[in-house]
């Protein structure tokens, strides 16, 4: 749930960013292992939650053609075990 809220807020922010830059809003793509990425500038990354699990996140970036792309992928959460 927290990720979906952050993802929704990020999507709206990236749509506004695209409009301000005179660019088309980014389309969300699912990352596949081995996918070739053309990243020139990272615009936004949704921070993973503080949990000891694999969680989804998204990154929006500009490619060498100046187009905005949003990539959805999984990462290890920010695990903070206290002992």
Mean pLDDT of 36-48: 94
- Count H helices and E strands in the chain, helices first: 1, 4
Q: How far apart are CA 69 and CA 24, in angstroms?
A: 10
**Residue 82 pLDDT grade (very low, low, confident, very high; cuts 50, 70, 90):** low
Task: Of 6, 13, 21, 17, give the one whose Cα is nearest residue 72.
Answer: 6
Compute the mean pLDDT over every residue in the chain, rounded to the nearest whole number: 91
Q: Which residues, other chains included, contact 78 with Cβ-Cβ below 8 Å and sequence gap of 6+?
A: 47, 48, 49, 50, 51
pTM comes to 0.85
Q: How far apart are CA 49 and CA 79, in angstroms?
A: 9
CB atoms within 10 A of CB 4: 9
pLDDT of 80 over the 80 cut? no
pLDDT of 35 over the 90 cut? yes
């Amino acid at each position: 749930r927290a990720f979906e809220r952050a993802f929704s807020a990020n999507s709206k922010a990236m749509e506004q960013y695209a409009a301000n830059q005179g660019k088309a809003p980014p389309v969300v793509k699912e990352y596949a292992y081995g996918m070739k990425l053309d990243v020139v500038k990272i615009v936004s990354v949704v921070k993973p939650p503080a949990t000891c699990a694999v969680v989804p996140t998204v990154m929006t970036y500009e490619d060498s053609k100046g187009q905005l792309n949003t990539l959805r992928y999984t990462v290890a959460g920010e695990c903070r075990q206290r002992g």
